[in-house]
Structure 1
Amino acid sequence: MKVTVCGAAGGIGQPLSLLLKLSPYVTHLALYDVVNAPGVGADINHIDTDVVVSSHLPQDDGLQMALTNADLVLIPAGVPRKPGMTRDDLFAINAGIVRDLALAVATHAPNAMVLVISNPVNSTVPIVAEVLKKAQVFNPRRLLGVTTLDLVRANTFISQLSQGKLSSKQLNVPVIGGHSGETIVPLFSIGSPEFYQSLNDEQRDALVHRVQYGGDEVVQAKKGAGSATLSMAYAGFQLAERLMKSAHGDNESAKYASSFIYLDDRIPGASYAKEKLGVDYVSLPTVIGAEGIESIDSSILDKIDEHEEELLEVAIDQLKTNIAKGVSFIKGTAA
């Protein structure tokens, strides 16, 4: 498969590109960024795997070359928040970057699977969808926002809390909603019911809060000089690998994945989720096949406990605003 990373020289892009260079499913890895892509490409090209690496900058139609014939496109591009920059400032910059990359995907790789990592995912996925809709190449089965890090954190944190009684590798805690703060709803009552029920209210609330704001831990540990780049790269690769496995017919091991998706009525399970939640986009467990999303496990919404219901109500209220912000950005600007 040809896999393209847009934003390959960034904090997430570099480790993500490294992981993709090690994958047996990748034949051609195309690295694109506005700066430093050749340096990253030269570095990982010394790794002794058979993956062909090409590096591209904006000049000489670099983005077109990186995207042409791509089977899978990952978008971690964007800028980190800097001192004095408001969240609105950050959104305007990253939204513009994602919009331009989405337009390039629509033009040069309209059939590619697209994984959006650039934050805020709750808004950037709708941005990509709106651009692809305008270009009349939108396939809701092939656009996924990467929320895998929330699942990785949920499994890790409850394992740590159990002091070794639960192995994170044996856990599968579903996380639904969105990919920021209170929009993140970990379903410990489903993923680890016995241990979760043994916790008191204070422990339970602290565990949920840690998953919702796990990124803050990393920012504080890096003393404000960075964010969760390595774990995010791992999470992005994990979802990409599941998609690549499915594309190669390995459906049994790659079957289930959660991601932030558009609830298209043609996808089994989407209509029920849309009716129950009242949003067009949400993160839910999905069944992944060779062509992308095969179905959505919306039945999970009927299995959550009372406390998680309350968390989900808060999440949906915030999600509606986040989604509308992304949609309005495209409808209010020329893509």
Structure 2
Amino acid sequence: MVKVVVLGAAGGIGQPLSLLLKTNPVVTGLSLYDIVNAPGVAVDLSHINTPAKVEGFLPPNEGLKQALTGAEIVVIPAGVPRKPGMTRDDLFKINAGIVRDLATGIATTAPKAFVLVISNPVNSTVPIVVEVFKKHGVFDPKRIFGVTTLDVVRASTFAAEALQEPSLASKLVVPVIGGHSGVTILPIFSQAQPPLPASFLENKETLEAITHRVRYGGDEVVKAKDGAGSATLSMAYAGATFVEKVVRAVSGEKNIVAPTFVYLESDAAGGAVIKQELGTDVPYFSVNVELGPSGVEKILPIGKVTAYEKSLFAGALSELETNIKTGVSFIDGAKL
């Protein structure tokens, strides 16, 4: 029995994400919450012949509390989408308050749930959730995750395209570390599995072009949609992929590894290794994590990277530290 809650279920990411979760046979309960339309989305999905019982809730009559009661996994795609010319940081002014209020609801109703944050900017919204949980005295660093899976999906897809081997995309896994916006995104093509050919890894022009595309893939979608939306479908796919890994790990399956933006103290030993590899005391980082029944089992080391990949670290860390401080400062002194 696994109950998953989607907060922001009627939105551009929320609807396709909820659809994908409804088709997952392991999900037995699917609770949808939004400020509008969630009951309609729930009824629509309930007609699909898979096991999950679907319910939809709106704010009146303590709808958020009803949605979260008994939750085991909570996914947060809520917030406004990016528009042309808008950065993830621009989103912060709007989405920070939304995430804060939802995090407060989780902390007071389902504090033991695994919280998966999709709402951008993830580099700042994950610290917001953490600080809210700290203020309520229910913080468990092993249970709060920033969903960065889309960066891996993009890196794998774009590398396969560059090699003119589209069938490779579904098999290729390119680790992506750092954060989840712009220069904080660090694709590590040298660690791809299966390994990429040396001709690819030694072509700096190609690497720079694909690294830029992975970092700013969201801009590519926003521009292509001409103001009508952002990366919703690919993000829903990535989110559902991460949820499935969490479900499998919580159910006892071993050796489940996924990239995610986490509080490094969730595994003190592993986190210390990451900080040593980076040469800085950054509190959050997106890195491969081994998942288990309690959430974060082990933070895996970054490992060997190329000189080109290493050269990207300094800029990424500077921006990431600013993003994290922005999220923490938003909650500091707030009355919750």
- 1:203 equivalent in alignment to 2:216: no
In structure 2, what is the Cα distance between the partners aligned to 1:86 and 1:157?
22
In structure 2, what is the Cα distance between the partners aligned to 1:266 and 1:218?
35
User: In 1, are the aligned partners of 2:84 and 2:227 still within 8 Å (CA)?
Assistant: no
Give the 3 Å change call, closer, same or farther, for CA 281–92 of structure 1 in structure 2.
same
Aligned to 1:47: 48
Secondary structure of residue in 2 paired with 1:59: coil
Aligned to 1:114: 115
Aligned to 1:247: 250
Aligned to 1:231: 234
In structure 2, what is the Cα distance between the partners aligned to 1:280 and 1:36?
37
In structure 1, what is the Cα distance between the partners aligned to 2:45 and 2:235?
19
Q: Partner amino acid for 2:318?
A: D
Aligned to 2:63: 62
Aligned to 1:171: 172
**TM-score between both structures, scaled by the size of structure 2:** 0.94
User: In 1, are the aligned partners of 2:80 and 2:91 still within 8 Å (CA)?
Assistant: yes
User: In 2, are the aligned partners of 1:5 and 1:17 still within 8 Å (CA)?
Assistant: yes
Secondary structure of residue in 2 paired with 1:256: strand
Secondary structure of residue in 2 paired with 1:170: coil
In structure 1, what is the Cα distance between the partners aligned to 2:249 and 2:260?
15
Q: Partner amino acid for 1:23?
A: N
User: In 1, are the aligned partners of 2:32 and 2:56 still within 8 Å (CA)?
Assistant: yes
Offset at residue 93 of structure 1 (A): 1.7
Aligned to 2:286: 283
Structure 1 spans left out of the alignment, 5+ residues:
none
Offset at residue 214 of structure 1 (A): 0.7
Aligned to 1:319: 320
CA offsets 1:119-172 (integer angstroms, 9 cap, x no match): 000000000000001111111111000000000001000001111187122212
Secondary structure of residue in 1 paired with 2:258: strand
Q: CA RMSD in A?
A: 1.8
Aligned to 2:37: 36
Aligned to 2:16: 15
- 1:213 equivalent in alignment to 2:216: yes
In structure 2, what is the Cα distance between the partners aligned to 1:50 and 1:231?
24
Aligned to 1:271: 272
Secondary structure of residue in 2 paired with 1:237: helix
Aligned to 1:24: 25
**Count of aligned pairs:** 331
Give the 3 Å change call, closer, same or farther, for CA 138–238 of structure 1 in structure 2.
same
In structure 2, what is the Cα distance between the partners aligned to 1:87 and 1:246?
30
Q: Partner amino acid for 2:114?
A: M
User: In 2, are the aligned partners of 1:189 and 1:196 still within 8 Å (CA)?
Assistant: no
User: In 2, are the aligned partners of 1:181 and 1:213 still within 8 Å (CA)?
Assistant: yes
Aligned to 1:104: 105
Structure 2 spans left out of the alignment, 5+ residues:
none
